[in-house]
A and B are shown apart, each in its own frame.
Chain A
């Protein structure tokens, strides 16, 4: 028998729950449903889902609270669903440990892609503890060689500087996931760096000029306006 990945959906709206159940079951996930924060809490602790899809607007508590309590004891992937369009809320959820966010309204293909990415990251994190990154990240014509500290596009070394390489390899380690400006700055320049993200932005612009054919229509490095950066999904 197949072992299915178990998805917990925390969502209070009936028709959206319907939609989640239909789509996820059709794509061979084992689906659990919670309509309130309290229900979510008990299901998370008793049934250990592989991924949690968490709506931030719940009737009985703020979704961010649930996220916080999960993060106190588990690194299980959490995808935050938000109807809030202000990028500040997305940044907050990501900085509190959400693996990804998806904004209502979204399509099924987008949803499934996020779930796959989140589960893959969780598995990868189990296999290779942080800081021990080796091997190669490959997507289309781009290659990050973690052993040689080099980035190649179409087989050619693009000649990144030390910091530029650090940024790209950090994004690569979280392939497909959005990293906030603050997170990247802390990882690259340390916690005492000013919160001004200008230096990161300029670095990214230079990286784009080395990696992308057309910086205004990138193939590998994407901007989530007001939130952060994301590298393309690996092949």
Chain B
């Protein structure tokens, strides 16, 4: 409410101000110029400015009505009298009113179109994510339903080990779904429009440690090394979200590196920045994928290599939105010695360390 009232007041002031300035200029010119043909044009210009700097049609139209009356009252003979009957003038005024209304309508429309374009952009991103999600959810669900009904329908003839295999598949696919849901939940922690997050000072090693622990539960056979500065680093962040970023990157290394056996997390301190890299000794990232990795569109382009790549799109685009919401950034590259490296950074205070 308060905000709305504030913009109302502000817009009224802008309107009054611009019309006032136009009137002053007109009065000033009246001293030196004998004709008054410039006056209506001056006010049309004023109306245009009003439309440009206020919200909605209302102020522009109001300004044009005021301008017409003002011009009639002050600047045309008989001065300081409303008189529309003078030959020719009525036409001038009507033309001026129409021009003002159209100008104000047009500028408002342009502003609205800009807004629509932004919305469309956001919609498209949301659409990409949704497509990736439904694609990623449908396959494990198909497998779960299939395996479960396979067991139920063939309970008597299925050999025991076949049945166990199916049950194991069900468990794995369900765990996959859990990961997708966790990622989606993360996105809901970032608050809409301005991507606002609640940050607390977190100790970096705690977040890294917790992420590694979570990852180890899912991939016990994978080796993870960590390297970080000796001093205690406290960096403002949403701990849960950054943990999710690290877990996603670790999982990507394990799943998409294919031949990965060792993953290394490297934490580094730079002036004003905290740098975290996750690198592996796997097969690396295909060059064609590198430029589109973070925009969530990976899924729709793939297809043929579905199994080895799935969720990479969601996982990484979620990482990117989280890091961006922290006002940091992220990049991916292949290491010259083989394997992939994904690095993200977060802003932090210069003098960090205890």
Which positions in A face B, CB cutoff 8 Å? Answer: 85, 87, 105, 198, 201-202, 204-206, 208, 214-218, 222-226
Give the CA-CA distance A139 to B174 in the complex, in Å. 33
Beyond A198-B201, A216-B226, A222-B209, 15 extra complex contacts between A and B, CB < 8 Å: A87-B240, A202-B234, A204-B203, A205-B203, A205-B232, A205-B354, A216-B265, A216-B267, A217-B209, A222-B210, A222-B213, A223-B210, A225-B206, A225-B210, A226-B200
Closest partner residue, chain B, to A201 (CB atom)? B203
- B197-212 toward A: CB 8 Å interface, digit per residue (1/0)? 0001111011111101
Task: Name the B residues within 8 Å of A201 (CB-CB).
Answer: 201, 203, 206, 234
Task: Name the B residues within 8 Å of A198 (CB-CB).
Answer: 201, 234
Listed by A's residue number, 8 A-B pairs whose Cβ atoms lie within 8 Å are A85-B185, A202-B232, A202-B234, A216-B226, A216-B228, A217-B209, A222-B209, A225-B243
- B269-290 toward A: CB 8 Å interface, digit per residue (1/0)? 0000000000000000000000
User: A217 contacts B203, CB within 8 Å?
Assistant: no
Give the CA-CA distance A223 to B209 in the complex, in Å. 8
Task: Give residues 228-279 of B contacting A (CB, 8 Å).
Answer: 228, 232, 234, 239-240, 243, 265, 267
Task: Name the B residues within 8 Å of A205 (CB-CB).
Answer: 203, 205-206, 232, 354
Q: How large is the interface on B (under 10, 10 to 19, 20 to 34, 35 or more residues)?
A: 20 to 34
User: B185 contacts A216, CB within 8 Å?
Assistant: no
Which positions in B face A, CB cutoff 8 Å? Answer: 174, 178, 182, 185, 200-203, 205-210, 212-213, 224, 226, 228, 232, 234, 239-240, 243, 265, 267, 354
User: B212 contacts A217, CB within 8 Å?
Assistant: yes
User: A217 contacts B224, CB within 8 Å?
Assistant: yes
User: A217 contacts B226, CB within 8 Å?
Assistant: yes
Measured CB to CB, the closest approach of chain A to B264, in angstroms, equals 11
Task: Name the A residues within 8 Å of B224 (CB-CB).
Answer: 217
Closest 5 CB pairs of A and B: A223-B206, A216-B226, A205-B232, A225-B239, A216-B205
Give the CA-CA distance A85 to B185 in the complex, in Å. 8
Give the CA-CA distance A225 to B239 in the complex, in Å. 6
Cβ-defined partner of A202 (8 Å) among B178, B228, B354: B354
Task: Name the B residues within 8 Å of A85 (CB-CB).
Answer: 182, 185
Closest partner residue, chain B, to A109 (CB atom)? B217
Give the CA-CA distance A18 to B176 in the complex, in Å. 22
Give the CA-CA distance A218 to B212 in the complex, in Å. 10
Closest partner residue, chain A, to B265 (CB atom)? A216
User: A226 contacts B234, CB within 8 Å?
Assistant: no
Interface-centre pick from B202, B205, B208, B239 (highest chain A CB count, 10 A) = B205
Task: Name the B residues within 8 Å of A214 (CB-CB).
Answer: 226
Cβ-defined partner of A218 (8 Å) among B174, B209, B243: B209
Task: Name the A residues within 8 Å of B207 (CB-CB).
Answer: 223, 225
Task: Name the A residues within 8 Å of B203 (CB-CB).
Answer: 201-202, 204-205
Task: Name the B residues within 8 Å of A225 (CB-CB).
Answer: 202, 206-207, 210, 239-240, 243
